C-alpha cells in the first residue's frame, strides 16, 4: 500500500502532557511527523493540533482510532494531502 501524507486535525483539551501523548503515539510507531502546528481555539481550554504524517491509509486510520481513545482528545479528523 502506498504511503501518503495525511493531515490530522485534532481538537484536544489544553492540559499538560497532551501534546506529548499525541506525538508519542505517532512517533512511538516509527512514523515521522512532517509538520506539527499547535494553537489555541476561541475556547481557551481547547487547543487545535494539525499534524502531517506520512503513512498508509491503514496505519493512519489505526493512529486516528488510537488518538480518539485518548482521554484528552475531543475530536480527530483527517484528509489526504
Binding to another protein by residue 13, rule CB under 8 A? yes
Binding to another protein by residue 19, rule CB under 8 A? no
* CA quadruple 26, 32, 37, 42: dihedral, nearest 10: -20
Q: Which is nearer to another protein, 28 or 39 (CB)?
A: 28
- The one segment of 1-9, 11-19, 33-41, 48-56 that binds another protein by CB under 8 A: 11-19
8-state DSSP, 32? P
| Neighbouring residues of 29: CB distance < 8 A, sequence distance ≥ 6 | 59, 63
Binding to another protein by residue 21, rule CB under 8 A? yes
Q: For binding to another protein (CB under 8 A), which residues are involved?
A: 12-13, 16-17, 20-21, 24, 28, 61-62, 65-66, 68-74
Amino acid at each position: 500500500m502506498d504511503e501518503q501524507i495525511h493531515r490530522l486535525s485534532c481538537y484536544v483539551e489544553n492540559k499538560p502532557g497532551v501534546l506529548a501523548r499525541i506525538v508519542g503515539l505517532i512517533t512511538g510507531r516509527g512514523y515521522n511527523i512532517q509538520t506539527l502546528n499547535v494553537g489555541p481555539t476561541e475556547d481557551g481550554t481547547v487547543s487545535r493540533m494539525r499534524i502531517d504524517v506520512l503513512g498508509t491509509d491503514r496505519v493512519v486510520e489505526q493512529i486516528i482510532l488510537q488518538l480518539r481513545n485518548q482521554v484528552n482528545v475531543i475530536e480527530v479528523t483527517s484528509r489526504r494531502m
